[in-house]
């Protein structure tokens, strides 16, 4: 049977793949596993969700599963994923559960777990939870059944934390924030206003059905138009659970996660807070980020794709900044996971502190044209071992030299090989990627 947990929890179409019965079983198994790892006290779990309609149903199921396993539940209501991670630590809980499918369309939903301290679960813990799903185990009765209470001050505690982590106030900035009709629809505008900015909030009216519906970080065109319409200094785009952000400068130009990391890395370096002058990113980050960081004396370490691998590298080396091109940015001194609101506040604080437009700050990095071709194959393992493929990659790499980059990556879930090429021009990148794709296709 395939593994239930993916790279970011358990996801699927709500009430079809991700049913209330599965949610209840997952929550109960998680409570039992974590309770066995620490038998000194009765476990406490915090539960949050994004505003999609199925979240109400799944929240009830998760709460039932946790309390049936003897855990007390603190319900947080609708909050961003990073708020749930923060409140696990802040409230001294043993477990956090976020019900969200992030940027996925409304019919989907997901369940993500956080361990004590607000860290994502290890693969080993996830495997333990999966192994316990089908077991029939004794349940507590009487006083052993878990209790449920609400945390009405959850949002304000999270916003207070964000403001304490922001190094400069935002007075004088006019910003537009696209909340994706998601989990940050209330907290993001509040946080940015309390930091001093003039805030125009769009897509901040969730009704359970409109989350990510042509809005947010995966649809920047509306934000770009709004920034120009309102004469704003910049725009911020969140996804449905606000664990990421992308930005738009005052001209409407997109500022992606790589550029955001470049701006924040130099801000931390200037403040003497960039540990070992090191930034951590994934192999998918643009070569332009590598070149820019080299120019400014910042070492760039790369990991496999996935923010969990970035976090592992950050923790292993004690580094202070990492992230992904998609806008997941982690600042370990202030958060245990990607936090779109924290990222946005730090980015805007840099604009306010320097007095420079965001576009100028992001201009330290030039994005090289990047072409990605997905090649469907019969056996991705055979492609990886093929001498013709490795020879073709070596030839293209030699042709590009330091001005380009080649990356072949098998899909983790499908019989696909992803061929990515960066080069000084789009035509060069497209030509090289097409050549490589043809070689891969011939083998596969």
Give pLDDT tens digits for 189-230: 999 999 999 999 999 999 999 999 999 999 999 999 999 999
Q: Report yes or no: 189 and 201 within 8 Å, Cβ to Cβ.
A: yes
Catalytic pick from 100, 102, 285, 320? 102
The label of the residue with tokens 């072949």 reads 408
Give me the residues paired with residue 300 across strands.
Answer: 279
Q: What is the mean pLDDT of residues 132-157?
A: 92
Q: What is the pLDDT of residue 119?
A: 92
**Rounded CA separation 442/253 (Å):** 39
Structure tokens, 212: 């990510």
Quick one: how far is CA 156 from the chain centroid? 22
E strand segments, 50-125: 72-78, 95-99, 108-115
For residues 173 and 230, the answer to whether their CB atoms sit within 8 Å is no
pLDDT tier at 1, thresholds 50, 70, 90 = very low
pLDDT band at 134 (very low <50, low <70, confident <90, very high): confident
Element (H, E) at 44: strand 44-49
Residue 185 annotated to the active site = no
Taking Cα atoms as reference points, which of 207, 204, 208, 182 lies closest to residue 193? 204
Share of the chain above pLDDT 70, in %: 99
Q: What confidence category does residue 78 fall into, taking pLDDT thresholds of 50, 70 and 90?
A: very high
pLDDT reading at 89 higher than 80: yes
Q: How many CB atoms lie within 10 A of CB 40?
A: 5
Give the separation between CA 329 and CA 387, rounded to whole angstroms: 37
Mean pLDDT of 88-108: 96
Please tell me what DSSP assigns to residue 444: -
Q: Is the pTM of this model over 0.85?
A: yes
Per the structure block, which two tokens stand in for 294? 């080299």
CA distance 236 to 352: 15
CA distance 99 to 182: 12
Could you write out the three-class secondary structure of 332-379?
CCCCCCCCHHHHHHHHHHHHHHHCCCHHHHHCCCCCCCEEEEEEECCC
Between residues 285 and 308, the one the model is more confident about: 285
Q: What percent of the chain has pLDDT over 90?
A: 87
Rounded Cα–Cα distance for residues 120 and 181 (Å): 25
Beta bridge partners, 248, equal 235, 254
Structure tokens at 406: 């080649």
Beta bridge partners of 153: none
The whole-angstrom separation of Cα 300 and Cα 126 is: 30
For residue 122, what is the DSSP state?
A: P
CA 101/CA 74 separation, integer angstroms = 21
pLDDT of 359 reads 98
Q: How far apart are CA 309 and CA 302, in angstroms?
A: 9
User: Does 419 have pLDDT greater than 70?
Assistant: yes
Residue 81: the pLDDT is 98
Q: How far apart are CA 330 and CA 311, in angstroms?
A: 7
* Residues 34 and 95 sit within 8 Å (Cβ to Cβ): yes
Sheet containing 95-99, strands listed edge to edge, beginning at the edge strand earlier in sequence: 10-13, 108-115, 95-99, 44-49, 72-78, 148-150
Interstrand relation of 370-376 and 416-422 (parallel, antiparallel or unpaired): antiparallel
What pLDDT, on a 0 to 100 scale, did the predictor assign at position 64? Answer: 98
- How many contiguous H segments (helices) and E segments (strands) does the chain have? 15, 18
pLDDT of residue 413: 65
Q: pLDDT digit string (tens) for 364-414?
A: 999 999 999 999 998 888 888 899 999 999 999 999 998 899 999 888 667
Give 49-70 pLDDT, tens digit per residue.
Answer: 999 999 999 999 999 999 999 9
């Amino acid at each position: 049977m395939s593994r239930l947990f993916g790279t970011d929890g358990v996801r699927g179409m709500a009430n079809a793949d991700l049913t209330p019965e599965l949610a209840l079983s997952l929550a109960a198994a998680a409570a039992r596993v974590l309770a066995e790892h620490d038998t000194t006290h009765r476990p406490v779990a915090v539960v949050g969700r994004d505003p999609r309609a199925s979240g109400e149903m799944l929240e009830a199921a998760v709460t039932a599963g946790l309390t049936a396993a003897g855990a007390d539940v603190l319900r947080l209501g609708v909050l961003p994923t990073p708020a749930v991670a923060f409140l696990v630590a802040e409230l001294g809980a043993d477990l956090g559960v976020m019900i969200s499918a992030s940027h996925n369309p409304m019919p989907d939903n997901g369940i993500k777990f956080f361990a004590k301290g607000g860290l994502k679960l290890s693969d080993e813990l996830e495997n333990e939870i999966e192994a316990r799903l089908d077991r029939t185990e004794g349940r507590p009765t009487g006083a052993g059944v878990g209790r449920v209470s609400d945390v009405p001050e959850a949002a304000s505690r999270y916003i207070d934390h964000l403001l304490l982590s922001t190094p400069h106030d935002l007075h004088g900035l006019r910003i537009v924030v696209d909340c994706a009709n998601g989990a940050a629809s209330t907290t993001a505008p509040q946080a940015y206003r309390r930091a001093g900015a003039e805030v125009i909030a769009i897509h901040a009216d969730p009704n359970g059905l409109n989350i990510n519906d042509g809005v947010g970080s995966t649809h920047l065109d509306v934000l770009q138009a709004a920034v120009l319409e309102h004469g704003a200094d910049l725009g911020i785009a969140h996804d449905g659970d606000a664990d990421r952000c992308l930005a738009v400068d005052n001209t409407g130009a997109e500022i992606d996660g790589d550029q955001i990391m470049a701006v924040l890395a130099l801000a931390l370096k200037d403040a003497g807070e960039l540990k070992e002058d090191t930034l951590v990113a994934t192999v998918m980050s643009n070569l332009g980020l590598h070149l820019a960081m080299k120019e400014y004396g910042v070492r760039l370490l790369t990991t496999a794709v996935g923010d969990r691998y970035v976090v592992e590298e950050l923790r292993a080396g004690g580094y202070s900044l990492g992230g992904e091109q998609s806008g997941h940015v982690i600042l370990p001194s202030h958060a245990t996971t990607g936090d779109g609101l924290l990222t946005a506040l730090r980015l805007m604080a840099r604009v306010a502190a320097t007095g420079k437009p965001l576009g100028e700050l992001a201009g330290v990095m030039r994005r090289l044209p990047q072409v990605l071709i997905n090649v469907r194959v019969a056996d991705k393992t055979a492609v990886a071992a093929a001498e013709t493929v490795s020879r073709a990659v070596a030839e293209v790499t030699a042709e590009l030299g330091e001005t380009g980059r080649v990356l072949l990556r098998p899909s983790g879930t499908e019989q696909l090989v992803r061929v990515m090429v960066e080069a000084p021009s789009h035509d060069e990148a497209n030509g090289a990627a097409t050549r490589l794709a043809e070689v891969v296709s011939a083998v596969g």
